[in-house]
Amino acid sequence: MKNLIKKAVQNHNLNREELIALLEDDNCAPALLAAADEVRKQYVGDEIHLRGLIEFSNFCKNNCCYCGLRRDNHRLERYRIDTPTILKLAEHAAAMGLKTVVLQSGEDPWFTTGRMTEIIRGIKKLGVALTLSTGEKSLQDYQAYREAGADRFLLRIETTDRDLYLRHDPGMSWDSRRQCLADLRTAGLEVGSGCLVGLPGQTTASLADDILFFKQIDADMIGIGPFIPHPDTPLRNAEGGKLDLALKVMALTRLLLPDINIPATTAMETLAPDGQIRALQGGANVIMPNVTLTAYRKHYELYPGKSATGYTPDESLQKVIEKINGIGRTVCKTQGFHIRNSKQQ
């Protein structure tokens, strides 16, 4: 395993069998995370990018079996934040010094292209970079977002295993999701994707394929999250993903895509109080502090125990900065594009 890790550090390449071997070996995790940390330092440095996350609607027309926002979860109280309030939250994020705002929601058709572009234009006046994560749209929509000023888009493939995807995302199409990722690139947005780790029926081979897929699409950002079962979904009794495996998938992603942006995800922090720290010391270089008003945050429940739900935006940010300084890292002062696009800043 040592030789495989060494090879990945030098060449940023591993084949499917090599990835499977590393994913299945329980003893290699410390060396793997240390190697990813070294590659992270070499390619993207010690600075951490903070992205202020606004969860602006929990309405969703889709029915993903793992997600608390799924259409058939009638126990969830639904909300939409209106445009002036979204702009106020973004303004507050910018005033707190955050250089990127991320707008995330369920797939909510109420936010038409016209409404979204109005919000995008308003936020771009604040001088911040803007990331969207609002699900599958047409190429024309993505182009309209880009023209209005959006910079990046996050759309996880969730899993590259078609059968598994169809089982857990009823009514959706893996090929359409794949096409959306291509369309985002065509529209000129930075492309973020990622996967869930620990979906029922998922194999280490399919996780290896996920990592190879990230390289194939030449992603700018990759978010890896352990799947956490939600009691009001069909997967309520599933075992759920393991933090250690999610960290290994993340570390391997850093080894193969050395200069991209990789968040220490909230789901990692939800599974363990030191989940994000371990991620930051195993290849991650991004954190997304939540800047949504506390009153809404409890309803954006993708999974139970979503970390820090009771904190105000200022408290969330303060906690994150303490964490970063506590491990000798610093907050980046630029907008934090993928290094190959960094002249945009």
Q: Which residues bind ligand SF4 (CB under 6 A)?
A: 60, 62, 64, 67, 69-70, 106-107, 135
- The residue range among 123-131, 153-161, 289-297, 317-325 that interacts with ligand SAM, by the rule CB under 6 A, is 153-161
Is the Cβ of residue 49 or residue 152 nearer to ligand SF4 in the bound state? 152
Alpha carbon 79 to chain centroid, angstroms: 22
**Torsion on CA atoms 288, 238, 164, 206, rounded to nearest 10:** 70
Residue 156 interacts, among ligand SF4, ligand SAM, none and using kind-specific CB cut-offs from 5 to 8 Å, with ligand SAM
Q: What does 278 bind: ligand SF4, ligand SAM, none (CB cut-off 5 to 8 Å by kind)?
A: none
Of 278 and 321, nearer to ligand SAM (C-beta) is 278
Q: Which is nearer to ligand SAM, 22 or 69 (CB)?
A: 69
| Distance in angstroms (rounded) separating the CA atoms of residues 342 and 323 | 26
Q: 179-218 mask for ligand SAM (x: CB under 6 A)?
A: -----------------x----------------------
Q: Is 123 in the site for ligand SAM (CB under 6 A)?
A: no
Residue 145 or 165: the one with the smaller Cβ distance to ligand SF4 is: 165
Q: How far is the CB of 110 from ligand SAM (least distance, A)?
A: 14
Per-residue x/- mask for ligand SAM, residues 274 to 313, rule CB under 6 A? ----------------------------xx----------
What separation in angstroms does the CA of 104 have from each of 111, 131, 220? 12, 8, 18
Query: What is the Cα–Cα distance from 292 to 57, expressed in whole angstroms?
Result: 11
Which helix or strand (DSSP H or E) is residue 51 part of? Answer: strand 47-57
Q: Which helix (H) or strand (E) holds 52?
A: strand 47-57
Binders in 6-65 for ligand SAM, by CB under 6 A: none
Distances (CA, A) of 171 to 54, 258, 260: 27, 35, 32
Question: Which partner in ligand SF4, ligand SAM, none is near 131 (CB below 5 to 8 A by kind)?
Answer: none
Site size for ligand SAM, by CB under 6 A? Answer: 19
Tokens of 270: 């939800």
**Selected binder of ligand SAM within 36, 39, 89, 228 (CB under 6 A):** 228
For residues 67 and 101, which CB has a smaller minimum distance to ligand SAM in the complex? Answer: 67
Total number of residues shown for the chain:
345
Q: Does 104 bind ligand SAM (CB under 6 A)?
A: yes
Q: Which of the listed partners (ligand SF4, ligand SAM, none) does 70 bind, with a CB threshold of 5 to 8 Å by partner kind? A: ligand SF4
The option from ligand SAM, ligand SF4, none interacting with 254 (CB < 5 to 8 A, set by class) reads none
Q: Is 69 in the site for ligand SAM (CB under 6 A)?
A: yes
In the chain, which residue ranges form alpha helices assigned H by DSSP?
A: 2-11, 16-24, 29-44, 83-95, 113-124, 139-148, 162-168, 174-186, 204-216, 243-256, 266-271, 275-280, 294-297, 313-326
Comparison of 67 and 211: residue with beta carbon closer to ligand SAM: 67
DSSP-assigned letters across all residues of 98-119: -SEEEEEES--TTS-HHHHHHH
Asked whether position 155 contacts ligand SAM by CB under 6 A, the answer is yes
Contact between 32 and 248 (Cβ < 8 Å):
yes
Those residues whose C-beta lies under 8 Å from the C-beta of residue 219, and which sit 6 or more positions away, are 191, 192, 193, 257, 260
CA-CA-CA-CA torsion sign (331, 99, 96, 299)? negative
Nearer to ligand SAM (CB atom), residue 18 or residue 158: 158
DSSP state of 238: S
Instruction: Give residues in contact with ligand SAM (CB under 6 A).
Output: 66-67, 69, 104, 106-107, 133, 135, 155-156, 158, 196, 225, 227-228, 230, 267, 302-303
